[in-house]
């Protein structure tokens, strides 16, 4: 019988009258990247915390390498896994000391600590940051420190809870590159929760779709996104889902007429009625049109503003409503208000069929 890196067998976790995860059976094979996709409250974070042994199941069992986690061996089993949270918590110390903290707790020899920290710094593109105060870094840099701290532990399993939420595009790119690199080059096993459907298509080898604490669907990204299930459609409807007629233009590019005089170009081949998705994080918002190789450029106006702390979510009407996500700093610098005229720009490769 195959021993999975991690396994949950019929796990239920309740908080009072609330059931966070319900009879979940979930297995992770060595070297996988598994993406957990679902709306807020679907159970993604609780599943990760249960695998991290932060939360104890109300019912069911958790196993690592075929061995059941018990009260007697739980402390030892925690060495198998580590979790990086969406909201980063760092110590008032240098970047080096933050990354080395867990290694010192484990009484790793000093020379080995130095080797691991330097490797993690390089992976997270933080070389030269060693002596900087971690809490004085930008939000994206702090998240990379938290990721480097997890990498330095060299656990069998890394759990990531929305690792790129609230980050600017550059830091999103760095974090995604780290995930791809450690999986490809070191065979690192990773389970990551994400709201980003484009990211869910690109990084994981397997997608697990959650709703109301249960696993509703699992398979490769092509399998899960290839069929517009009710759960996926309901989750996706929170963002940019457009439906229209697809055809091929004279230039050989697929164009989807979604109504409102809006024609969206994409790289995927399609014909007939389709639904497409554009991640809010993949849309560049500007107050002036600029030269770009991107095939999709639309002029619109801001009709809704949601302040989400470090990020601002905007709804822009450009013949069709688009949801766009930008940093608070960009929002302030562009002096945006309700009614502001803006441009939306995104690549044809960012448009995904759902």
Domain CATH for 257: 2.40.50.100
Instruction: Give the structural domain span for 193.
Output: 6-227
pLDDT band at 281 (very low <50, low <70, confident <90, very high): confident
Q: Are residues 196 and 290 in the same domain?
A: no
Q: Does the structure show a pLDDT above 50 at 1?
A: no
User: Average pLDDT, whole number, for the chain?
Assistant: 90
Lowest mean pLDDT among 46-50, 106-110, 241-245, 340-344: 241-245
Say whether both 65 and 214 belong to one domain: yes
Domain match, 74 and 183 both: yes
Q: Examine the pLDDT at 40 and tell me if it is beyond 50.
A: yes
Look at residues 47, 57, 71, 43 and name the one whose alpha carbon lies nearest to residue 13: 57
Model confidence at 196, in pLDDT bands (50, 70, 90)?
Answer: confident
Give the total number of structural domains in the chain.
Answer: 2
Residue 246 domain-assigned (yes or no): yes
**Structure confidence at residue 245 (pLDDT):** 95
Residue 8 has pLDDT above 90, yes or no: yes
- 194 in the same domain as 82: yes
Q: What is the pLDDT of residue 340?
A: 96
Model pLDDT, residue 221: 84
Is residue 222 located within the same domain as residue 251?
A: no
Instruction: For residue 274, count other CB atoms closer than 10 A to its CB.
Output: 19
pLDDT (mean) for 189-197: 89
Confidence of residue 177 (pLDDT cuts 50, 70, 90): very high
Q: In this structure, what CATH number is given to the domain that contains residue 193? A: 3.40.50.300
pLDDT at 309: 74
Residues 177 and 266 in one domain: no
Of the listed ranges 12-16, 38-42, 109-113, the least confidently predicted one is 38-42
Integer Cα distance of 107 and 149 in angstroms: 15
H helix runs in 212-327, sequence order:
221-225, 230-236
Q: Are residues 207 and 264 in the same domain?
A: no
Q: How confident is the model at residue 343, as a pLDDT? A: 97
Q: Which ranges of the chain does DSSP label H, i.e. alpha helix?
A: 44-51, 74-77, 95-105, 110-123, 139-152, 169-186, 197-202, 221-225, 230-236, 328-333
Looking at the structure, tell me whether residues 179 and 326 fall in a common domain: no
pLDDT, tens only, 292-310 = 889 999 999 999 998 877 7
Query: Regarding predicted confidence, which is higher, 290 or 228?
Result: 290
Q: What is the pLDDT of residue 188?
A: 94
Note whether 120 and 148 are within 8 A (CB): yes
Residue 232 lies in a domain: no
Model pLDDT for residues 230-279, shown as the tens digit of each residue: 566 566 545 788 899 999 887 778 999 999 999 999 998 889 999 888 87
Q: What is the pLDDT of residue 237?
A: 46
- Compute how many other C-beta atoms are within 10 angstroms of the C-beta atom of residue 185: 9
Q: Work out the percent of the chain whose per-residue pLDDT is above 70.
A: 95
Indicate whether 125 and 221 sit together in one domain: yes
Residue 28 has pLDDT above 80, yes or no: yes
Q: Which of 248, 216, 222 is nearest to 234 (CA)?
A: 216
Nearest Cα residue to 160 out of 47, 20, 80, 75? 47
pLDDT score of 227: 59
């Amino acid at each position: 019988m195959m021993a999975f890196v991690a396994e949950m067998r019929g796990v239920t976790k309740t908080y009072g009258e609330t059931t966070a995860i319900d009879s979940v059976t979930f297995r992770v094979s060595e070297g996988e990247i598994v993406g957990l996709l679902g709306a807020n409250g679907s159970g993604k974070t609780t599943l990760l915390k249960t695998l991290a042994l932060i939360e104890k199941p109300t019912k069911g069992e958790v196993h690592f390498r075929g061995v059941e986690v018990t009260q007697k061996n739980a402390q030892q089993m925690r060495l198998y896994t580590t979790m990086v949270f969406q909201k980063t918590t760092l110590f008032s110390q240098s970047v080096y000391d933050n990354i080395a903290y867990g290694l010192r707790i484990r009484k790793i020899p000093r020379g080995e600590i130095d080797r691991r920290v330097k490797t993690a710094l390089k992976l997270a593109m933080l070389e030269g940051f060693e002596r900087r105060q971690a809490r004085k870094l930008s939000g994206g840099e702090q998240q990379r420190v938290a990721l480097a701290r997890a990498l330095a532990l060299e656990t069998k399993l890394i759990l990531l809870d929305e690792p790129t939420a609230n980050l600017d595009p550059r830091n999103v790119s760095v974090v995604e590159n780290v995930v791809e690199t450690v999986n490809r080059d070191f065979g690192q096993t990773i389970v990551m929760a994400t709201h980003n459907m484009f990211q869910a298509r690109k990084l994981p080898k397997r997608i697990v779709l959650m709703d109301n604490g249960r696993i509703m669907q699992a398979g490769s990204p092509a399998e899960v996104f290839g069929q517009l299930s009710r759960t996926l459609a309901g989750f996706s409807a929170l963002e940019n889902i457009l439906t229209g007629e697809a055809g091929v233009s004279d230039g050989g590019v697929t164009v989807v007429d979604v109504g409102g005089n809006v024609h969206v170009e994409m790289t995927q081949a399609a014909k007939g009625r389709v639904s497409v998705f554009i991640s809010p994080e993949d849309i560049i918002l500007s107050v002036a049109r600029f030269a770009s190789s991107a095939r999709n450029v639309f002029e619109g106006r801001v009709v809704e503003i949601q302040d989400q702390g470090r990020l601002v979510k905007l709804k822009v009407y450009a013949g069709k409503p688009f949801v766009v996500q930008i940093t608070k700093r960009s929002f302030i610098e562009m002096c945006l208000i309700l009614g502001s005229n803006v441009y939306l720009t995104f690549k044809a490769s960012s448009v995904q069929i759902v």
